Structure 1
Amino acid sequence: MIDLPLTLDQYEAERICVIKPSALGDVVQSLPILPALRERYPSAHISWVINRTLSDLVLGHPHLDEAIPFDRQGSWAQWSRLLGVLHSRQFDLVFDLQGLMRTGIMTAATGAQVRVGLQTAREGAHLASNVTIPNTGRDIPAHQRYWRGAEALGLGESRRQTLIRISKQDSNWAEGQLSQLKGMVLGIHPGAGWTTKRWPIEKYAVVGCKFMRMYGGSVVILGSPDEAELGEQLEALFNRFVPSKPILNLSGKTSLKQLSTMLSAVDLLATNDSGPMHLAAGLGTPVLGIFTCTSPEISGPPGEQHELIATRIPCAASYKKVCPHSGADHLACMEELSTDTVCESLVRLIEKNKLTHRAA
């Protein structure tokens, strides 16, 4: 640890690096720090280390000068080149918002005078930082944890902005896709990285059907290429139960920019705890977030405009990627969280955001 002559909010920097390679939701929740950094350091060169697959999130950002791509499955030669790039940039202020061994190595490689980390750092990543931001433990909501960086710079009262550049081409694409639909548009993202986060497809179908019948609206199914099969299953259920209703299945068929554009364009989103949930919320779309093995207080997006509902069984918010129970208790959270409960939350979401009235 160095003995800093000034507190972080008094430290002057000319070259700044944010290290936050993944995952989608965490990167989205970290994005508000960029406008804060630009406000504090208007002339600084600001870089961001990000997984190559997520780089579209930051490319074209008005407050970012450079995206440094990271290939998680890259070769040793690629890893060595990345560390060389980080060292050559001569950063004087670095934020490691990931806090894992690989980002700790990146942080150390920069040789920056001030290297800032969070209390959630593990795998020895804390050894690379010489400043740890207080009140950033795992009991702090993730979005607040990342915003502590802005607070440490004396900008905690600044407006939080999630800025993602959407091109005219992508906007025109989304407009063309939605032109075939009618009424209020509900986006549904039925996927998630963990099995224990995925509320059943059949229940999403019930919620979507009730929405279309109550409000005369339409449904767009969204997801990554890995979730295309889930999207097809949900589409098949809709075609079976409401064959006359307009359904648009874009699961696995969008780029990250197109997904961002569509999440911004739909009226509301029903989703598991996932990256698209945070992306939609950051872009200003009201979210109905369904939480089974995670906590809406810790992992959910901020804002009263959203509806976040969670299971109430004893092992709720256990953050287990695989259900540890067997028999009748296996994935009991999925059964406990009923479609009636979710539909009631959907109605509340629509009403408090004054989206529309029920169809006659």
Structure 2
Amino acid sequence: MTELLIIKPSSLGDIVHALQVATSLKAQRPDLRISWIAREIFAPLVHACAAVDHVYTFERKGGLSGFSRLMRELRKTKFDYVFDMQGLLRTGLMASRSVAQRKVGRWDSREFAGLFYDEKIALPPAGEGAHAIDILLQFCPILGARPELAGDLVFRASETLHPGFAPSAASGKLRPPVLMFPDSRRAEKKWGGFLQLTQHLLFGDRLHRRVIWAGDKYIPDREGLPGDRFLNLTGNTGLVSLPELIRRSDWVVSNDSGPMHLGAALGVKTLGIFGPTDPARYGPYPLTRPTNLVVRAPALSLISAKEVYGRMQAAELRLAQSGGQ
């Protein structure tokens, strides 16, 4: 058994990318036992991933005593490899304190983290402008694996879902819901058109859709949306439930955020709304997949709900004509 430690404490989108790479590594190297260091807020999701065997919890606000406690626990295991996929000072220190034959870090590590590695991964073929996943895939050749995604990202069963995610209503005519994530931790990434897009889908569409809003922060909606086809779960969405919520949805529509990356990773039709960040580097992966869409403008206020709705309709028509989803 080959022992691998992955250091990727945060954030949600970055962790989803790294979980895809871990899944690919395990698909190509079944002898791997993968351990992971994750922040306490993300540790349950990492633990739920079938590719991960053990999770070490990093308490970000635990101070020096919490960090020392984590390092003592970490040093009980001798690893064959340590992959620091974060590349910051604190994760470099984690790598330095681990016991391992080879310690490998990112080519673009910062804050002097590179001082703690035996080697760094190479640049991907696309160079510095490569997608975040393509950068992480360069860890694969260290283990003799191909730098490409392989295997399906699978999560262990989570808590019971809200009845709104039932396959169909009593009429038997409702499609799986359009799942929206209206919030973003950064104001410049937060699009303001989710209510208008919801209205287009509920009132201007012949498909008798359902729309569900989700996320960890409550976002108020507006009265007048039909209660039998609209559900607001914002502020009441558990992180561990996200994979199953997404898997049961027809679409994921999101700002540039972690749920968008999870939607693409699970193969659900995904539309990401982008302003300042570059979708070539941070968009739903891969952008060449017909079910991964991006709407982008220099300022998010320039993107209309009608434009996003039109892109969704056009994509569904293309997929229907090609025999896709």
Letter of the 2:212 partner, please give it.
V
1:339–1:81: structure 2 CA closer, same or farther, 3 Å change rule?
same
| C-alpha contact (below 8 Å) 2:254/2:260 kept by paired residues | yes
| C-alpha contact (below 8 Å) 1:286/1:349 kept by paired residues | no
Distance 2:153 2:249 in 1: 17
Distance 1:292 1:182 in 2: 33
Structure 1 match to 2:54: 66
- Residue deviations 1:272-329 (CA, integer Å, cap 9, x gap): 0001111111122111110011111110121331111110x3xxxxxxxxxxxxxxxx
Letter of the 1:304 partner, please give it.
P
Structure 1 match to 2:145: 154
| C-alpha contact (below 8 Å) 1:288/1:349 kept by paired residues | no
Letter of the 1:344 partner, please give it.
G
| C-alpha contact (below 8 Å) 2:191/2:300 kept by paired residues | yes
Letter of the 2:137 partner, please give it.
W
1:346 Cα offset (Å): 1.6
Structure 1 match to 2:19: 31
Distance 1:216 1:41 in 2: 45
| C-alpha contact (below 8 Å) 2:176/2:248 kept by paired residues | no
Identity %: 28
Distance 2:106 2:254 in 1: 28
Higher share of residues assigned helix? 1
Distance 1:172 1:247 in 2: 13
- Residue deviations 1:128-164 (CA, integer Å, cap 9, x gap): 1121111156521011111222244332355253222
- Residue deviations 1:107-129 (CA, integer Å, cap 9, x gap): 11113221111122111111111
Q: For structure 2, which runs of at least 5 residues remain unmatched after alignment?
A: none
Q: Per the alignment, in what secondary structure is the counterpart of residue 67 of structure 1?
A: strand
| C-alpha contact (below 8 Å) 2:274/2:300 kept by paired residues | no
1:184 Cα offset (Å): 4.5
1:33 Cα offset (Å): 2.3
Moved more, 59-68 or 211-220: 59-68
| C-alpha contact (below 8 Å) 2:200/2:306 kept by paired residues | no
Distance 1:30 1:161 in 2: 13
**TM-score normalised by structure 1 residue count:** 0.79
RMSD (Å) for aligned C-alpha atoms = 2.4
Moved more, 79-88 or 181-190: 181-190
Give 1:287's match in structure 2, choosing from 270, 282, 286. 270
Aligned residues: 311
| C-alpha contact (below 8 Å) 1:170/1:257 kept by paired residues | no
| C-alpha contact (below 8 Å) 1:32/1:163 kept by paired residues | no
Give 2:215's match in structure 1, choosing from 218, 223, 231. 223
Distance 2:319 2:152 in 1: 20
| C-alpha contact (below 8 Å) 2:183/2:190 kept by paired residues | yes
Structure 2 match to 1:307: 293
1:344 aligns with 2:310: yes
Structure 2 match to 1:170: 160
Q: Per the alignment, in what secondary structure is the counterpart of residue 58 of structure 1?
A: helix
Structure 2 match to 1:4: none
Letter of the 2:99 partner, please give it.
G
Moved more, 293-302 or 153-162: 153-162
Q: Give the alignment of 1:194-213 within 5 angstroms.
A: 194-200=186-192, 203-212=193-202, 213=204
1:178 Cα offset (Å): 6.8
1:69 Cα offset (Å): 0.9
Moved more, 190-199 or 68-77: 68-77
Give 2:240's match in structure 1, choosing from 232, 247, 257. 257
Distance 2:105 2:269 in 1: 31
1:248 Cα offset (Å): 0.6
1:243 Cα offset (Å): 4.5
1:308–1:194: structure 2 CA closer, same or farther, 3 Å change rule?
same
Q: Per the alignment, in what secondary structure is the counterpart of residue 53 of structure 1?
A: coil
